[in-house]
Chains A and B, each alone.
Chain A
């Protein structure tokens, strides 16, 4: 016990003497929470639109002003030539070309039908897809307006018309920050848990202090516990700072209890620490450790359901996400913060992540050797 106490004392001393680690612990979460939620926005705005108008009628003018006043589009140019507009697309000055044919108004009034052309720069898939669908729905709206103006609709519409009224549960205003911020918190806890533990141990290897430790009669589990416990605490501290900032900046207050979040985080950190420990037993330099954790971390985050829903991933990727602890924490954070789930709702998550913790730590302890062959 005395040995462990001393190990912990030494570890905390070293952490608090290392300004770099302190900065990582206190500045990084603040910066990430300040910046990322604004950048990781799913709504697409400021789509640059080039309009080719061959008709120059009042309808086209009405339609264009409806489009630009929606707030999603910026009018890049208004021209007569498709060629000119295409040059803008090539020069990346425009994202979408809307071509209105001659006789647009005439066709619409006489033939009850008119055609417009949308040419979309699909280099950025998200922008192209969302931009086109925004534009389509605006034009569709405009179409309805026009129809209602000059066809006197009967009081009861004879056409079958399905009107959709969505109601967003758990996040009524569909505020994407409400589900991004908890996800970013998960990222933070994961980084601290895995990176710091791993780098700390590998540093001992690099400097050679581990050699000096290995030649002492210290017990393997003492050494490992001495490494895990401090970073477990740091992880919990980061989470607390993160939750505080989320409340301060984005007024996100978990609907569920903080207790549930901390219980899960406590178990989750065990798994992440085990992961860092495992990498450290394979890496022989801090550089190697950084690269390995960085690569795996990217996979974990991208396949963790933070940015894209898991359900839309291919089956093999969905299988992978089941072995990804990050997935579970992101899910739990969203469940607790937005939906107010309690411990009984996330039992399955806790058990699974606890399983990861046991497997990873056992593996790490087995592969950590005090002597080499």
Chain B
């Protein structure tokens, strides 16, 4: 039995006359012990999907089960066995770290001591501040506390809605390390994020856009499915280079990617043509190299041409 199974989940919101399709006909499966990433820009429908799976929102259409329990009928059972960490910090700011943890433990009829093993790795980092009010913690600390609270009852499935948004690079890395430790303890984790570079840290990922899952698979599968050639291009004047590349006819798409520009080439392109084109535009120190597509390259293409 999979940890999460969803068939044709659909949700739309009405605001006045306008109707927004937040989640459109989403079906997917997450195996036990898997770290499943949902990558998507703001407004893709990630939060609505999570809210449906955590029984906070009723779907319009479709069914889903979490750990074998139906999200509509067995919502009570689900509430006992899932952990949810909303995107917005939503613990009591006027209660201390310790009080927040104890409060949520009590709501699940357990205590911090009982599940200390599970949260220990994370809790030791915030323990020095246990008397401090949650509102006075730094962003990274808040996020750790929220994760502790979501874990306090030893959930089977953990839902993390954009846990790394607004967190610095170091804390982000730490956070992903914590997730892999939790995964090692057998917890199924669903995590949503707007950052594409986090995709490769997941076991399987999906790209969500405008309420749809565009593609789903392991990071390797997604990379393999990308058939076009990508060239990393550099020159002395990077800014002008980007503009010139855009006007080159054999390039399908070009965008800056770290130190170089990534050019997605059309079939049957010619490297010689390209070099002479750039030389004719007066570029010096030209450097062109074929690079294997990264997950980000794949997603950039999918987001740009979603209906291909």
Contact = CB atoms under 8 A, between A and B. Distances in A.
Interface of A: 2-3, 6, 10, 13-14, 17-18, 207-209, 211-218, 370-373
Nearest to A17: B94
Q: Is the interface of A mostly helix, strand, loop or mixed?
A: helix
Contact of B99 (A10, A207, A209, A212): A10
Contacts of B92: 10, 14, 209
B47 to A, nearest CB: 10
A284 to B, nearest CB: 13
A285 to B, nearest CB: 14
Given A3-B107, A215-B82, A217-B107, 6 more contacts: A6-B103, A6-B107, A13-B95, A13-B99, A218-B107, A371-B58
A216 B81 CA distance: 9
A204 to B, nearest CB: 9
Given A10-B92, A14-B92, A216-B108, A208 B86 contact: yes
Contacts of A373: 57-58
Interface in B33-92: 54-58, 75-76, 79-80, 82, 84, 86, 88-92
B125 interface: no
A372 B56 contact: yes
Nearest to B84: A215
Interface residues of B, number: 29
Identify the 8 closest CB pairs spanning chains A and B, nearest first.
A208-B90, A216-B107, A6-B106, A373-B58, A217-B79, A215-B84, A212-B90, A217-B80
Interface of B: 54-58, 75-76, 79-80, 82, 84, 86, 88-95, 99, 102-104, 106-109, 149
Question: In the complex, which of the residues B55, B56, B58, B86 has the most CB atoms of chain A within 10 Å of its own CB atom?
Answer: B56
11 contacts: A6-B107, A14-B92, A14-B95, A18-B94, A208-B90, A211-B56, A212-B104, A214-B56, A215-B82, A217-B108, A372-B56
Nearest to B60: A373
Nearest to B86: A211
Contacts of B82: 215
Given A6-B106, A213-B107, A215-B84, A207 B90 contact: yes
Nearest to A216: B107
B105 to A, nearest CB: 9
Given A215-B54, A215-B55, A371 B75 contact: yes
Nearest to A223: B107
A217 to B, nearest CB: 4
B57 A209 contact: no
Contacts of A371: 55-58, 75
A128 B196 CA distance: 76
A217 B76 contact: yes
A224 to B, nearest CB: 14
A211 B106 contact: no
